[in-house]
Amino acid sequence: MNILTVEHISKSYGEKVLFKDASFGMEDQDKIGIVGVNGTGKSTFLRIIAGLEKPDEGQISSGNGVRIRTLAQNPDYDPEMTVLQQVFQGNDPQMKVVRDYTETMDLLDLDPSNEEVLERLLDLNQEMDALQAWNLESEAKIILNKLGLTQFEALMGTLSGGQRKRVALANALIQPCELLILDEPTNHIDTDSVAWLEQYLQKRRGALLMITHDRYFLDRVANVMLELDYGRLFRYQANYSAFLELKADREDREASTEHKRQNLLRSELAWMRKGPKARSTKQKARIDRYEELKDQQVVQRAGSMDMSVASSRLGRKILEIDHLHKTNNDVTLIKDLTYIAVPEDRVGIVGPNGSGKSTLLNLIAGRLEPDGGEISLGSTVKIGYFTQEHQEMNEKQRVIEYIKEVAEIITTSDGSTITAGAMLERFLFPPVLQWTPIAKLSGGEKRRLYLLRVLMGAPNVLLLDEPTNDLDIQTLAVLEQYLDEFPGVVFTVSHDRYFLDRTVDKIVAFEGNGVLRVHVGSYSEYEEWMSKNVTKGSDRKRVDQPSEPVSKPTPEPKEPVKPVSSTEKVKFSFKEQREFDQIDSLIQAAEQNIVALNTQMENSYSDSARLQELMLKLQEAQQELEHLMERWTYLNELADKM
C-alpha cells in the first residue's frame, strides 16, 4: 500500500542546486536507504519529506492517517528534563498519557494524601488502559538499555552530545508511526548497539527512510536505495550490494550515451561551420538539433579521489605502552595495559560507549596524562589525529586557505608534487568551491575538509576517532584505499563494522573494569570468536595485556585468530528452557494483575489509606512486568541464534 508520494520536488540554496525534479513513491513495507556525496542535500531531502522544510517546487502527499516520526542529525533537547522525560516527548496520545502519568506519580510521591492528585491519577489509569500504554515505559527502558543508557533520571544537560543523540533515537523508535525517518542513526552508538538496532529495524513493521554511512547496516536493513547524484534522484529496488551493481550499469549506459552525443555534436558542429542558412524547414530543424545538443547538461563525474600523500619516515621504535593505568571519576578505564606497536600495525579499538576508547587515543596523542605506567613514542613519530569532536574552524576562512595553513605543496609516494588546490579537487572540492567560505559547507563537507588537513600533514602514525561519522560512503571508500597504501601505523576507534573489517587486522576490545582484550584478526573474526565462546558459557579468558608484548610483525596469538568450526549449537539451559516456555503466560498474568489493581483503585477512591496501599502494589507490579519484558527480550534473542 502506498503511504507517501513525492512529485517533482526541487531545492536550491542560492546558485547551488541540491536536487531537481525528484519523484518517488513509498510503500508501507519499504525500508529505504539514501546515499550520496556530502553536500548533495540528503539531510535537507529528509527534512522536506518530514514536513520540516519546504521544497522550492513540487509537492509531497501522504495517505490518510500516516504518522511520520523523525530522528534529526542534530536533535533538540530540554537540558532540565530527565532522560526518561525526554524519551516520552511527542504528540502521540500514548506518549502524552505516559508523560502525564509519570508526572502525576512524582506529585503523589511529594504529597501522598493529596485528593486532587489521586483523582487525576485515577483518570490517567483509565486513559492508560484505553490506550494500552502500560508497557510503553518498560519498552522505553529496554531500548535505552540496548543503546547503552542506564541512568534514566540523569538530566539531559549533563549528557554528552553522543548520549543525547541516543536518547533522541530511543524517542523516535518508541513512537508509534507508519513512517520512521532516521538521519545517521548509527552515529555515536557502539558496535553492540548498532547490531541490536539493525535487528530491531529488520523486524519492525512499517516504512523506514534513513541516511547512514554504515554499509553493513544498509545491506541488511534496506530493501530500496535512493541515490542523490549531481542533483538527480535515482531509485533502485535493491539492498546496498545490489545497488552498487545497478549503479555501475547505469553509469556505463550514461557514458555510452554521452559518447554518442559527443560524436553527433562533432558532426553537427562541422556542418554548422559551413555557415548554413535556415532557408528550408530541414535546415532549420538541423540547426535546432545542434543547439539542443550543445545545450544539453552533461554530468561531469569526478574521478576517484587519489589520496597518495607520502608519510614521514618512521624509525624502528614506534609506540610502547608499558603497564598503563587510567581512571576517570574513580572508574577504572584502563588497567595495566602493555602493548608494543609494530610497523604497519592496523589496530581497531572497540567497546561500549564511555568505556575509554577515546581516552586511549588521547593518551597516545599526549593530550592526557596516565595515572600509572607510561607511553613512549619513537623520535621519528609524527602523529595525525582525526578527532571525533567538532573541529573549530574559522567560518570566514576560505576552503583553500584552511588547507594551505598546513601545506601549499605536498610530495606523493612517487616523488611528484601536488598543490593544495589539486589535492582539494581530488577531495571533491572543485575550484569554484575552494574559494567558498567554510561557513557555506555542509557538516559532511567540513569533516572531509578536516580529514584532508590531517592527511596533508604527512603523518606516519594515524589516530582516527570515529572517522566514519558524518563522512559519505565515497569518501570512506577512498580513505580505506588510502589506508591500504599507508606505510605507517593506524589506531582507529569505530563502531562501523564494515570499516573495521576493511582496514584493521587487530582488535583491542574494552571489556569493562579496565580490562582490555587484544585479538589478532578482523572485527568479524573477533565477533565470531566472542559469540562462540560466550554462548558456550566457557570461561572468557580476558587479556589485561598480552603475556608477551606484541613486538613482531606476525605475532602468534594465544587465542585462535579464527574460531574453529564447531557443530555445537546454541541451546538453553534447563532453567532457561523452562522460563522460555512460561514467559508469555507470566507476562500475560502480570498485565492482568495491573488491570485488576487499576480496577481496585477505581473502587477505592474514598479510602485514601487503601488507595495508597494499592498504589504501592501497582508500582511493584509494573516493576515485575518490566523485569519480565527484559527477560523475554533476552530469551528470544537467544532463541534466534539457535
Chain segment 369-392, per-residue pLDDT in tens: 999 999 999 999 999 999 987 778
d(CA 542, CA 526): 13
**Helix, strand or coil, per DSSP, at residue 27:** strand
Reading the block at residue 147, the C-alpha cell is 543503546
Kindly give the pairing relationship between strand 319-328 and strand 372-377: antiparallel
Give the amino acid at 163: Q
Report, as an integer, the average pLDDT of 92-119.
87
Average pLDDT for the chain: 83
With beta carbons less than 8 A apart as the criterion, state whether 549 and 340 touch.
yes
A 10 A CB-CB count for 611 gives: 22
Helical packing angle, 93-110 and 136-146, nearest 10°: 100
> What is the layout of strands, in order, in the sheet containing 179-183?
68-71, 179-183, 207-211, 31-35, 224-229, 232-236
d(CA 614, CA 600): 8
Cα 485 to chain centroid distance, Å, stands at 26
pLDDT over threshold 80, residue 411: no
Reading the block at residue 446, the C-alpha cell is 567540513
d(CA 345, CA 213): 25
pLDDT greater at residue 404 or residue 38: 404
pLDDT digits (tens, 9 = 90+) for 574-594: 677 788 888 888 888 888 888
pLDDT of residue 277: 55
The H-assigned helical ranges of 409-496 are 420-426, 431-434, 443-456, 473-485
DSSP readout, 233-279? EEEESS-HHHHHHHHHHHHHHHHHHHHHHHHHHHHHHHHHTT---TT
Quickly tell me which residue has 610483525 as its cell.
553
The H-assigned helical ranges of 457-573 are 473-485, 497-503, 523-535
pLDDT digits (tens, 9 = 90+) for 454-508: 988 889 999 999 999 888 888 888 888 888 888 899 999 999 999 999 999 999 9
Cα 410 to chain centroid distance, Å, stands at 33
Reading the block at residue 19, the C-alpha cell is 536536487
pLDDT digits (tens, 9 = 90+) for 508-519: 999 889 999 888
Kindly give the pairing relationship between strand 2-13 and strand 16-27: antiparallel
Whole-structure pTM value: 0.71
With beta carbons less than 8 A apart as the criterion, state whether 332 and 288 touch.
no
**Helix, strand or coil, per DSSP, at residue 549:** coil
d(CA 279, CA 574): 95
With beta carbons less than 8 A apart as the criterion, state whether 334 and 322 touch.
no
pLDDT digits (tens, 9 = 90+) for 297-343: 555 554 444 555 556 778 888 999 999 999 998 899 999 999 999 88
Q: Which has the minimum average pLDDT: 239-253, 279-293, 325-339, 502-516?
A: 279-293
